[in-house]
Amino acid sequence: MTLFQRCLRFLNVLAAAYLLVFIPFQIGASADEVGLDVYFFYSDTCPHCARQDPLMKDIDQHNEDVDVHFLEVSRNPQV
């Protein structure tokens, strides 16, 4: 292995270590400070929406930092 390849491997390991150690703490700090609002626009006649609905309800119930807003659009087109 040449010196250049060794230096390149070292830089790759260093970059990976930075991503694994420092980035999660930065993401976690900002997520703790601010809640997340999710707006779920759906239609009662949409089969794709019907499949997504249980997941959105589960996210809303089990994540106290996430607030899911359910907005039915076929009855309320102005939404």
Q: Which of 64, 65, 63 has the alpha carbon at shortest distance from 33?
A: 65
Tell whether pTM > 0.85.
no
Contact 60, 31 (CB under 8 A): no
Q: What is the mean pLDDT of residues 64-69?
A: 89
CA dihedral for 54, 38, 26, 13, sign (positive or negative): positive
Query: What was the pLDDT predicted at 64?
Result: 86
Average pLDDT along the chain: 78
- % of the chain residues with pLDDT over 70: 65
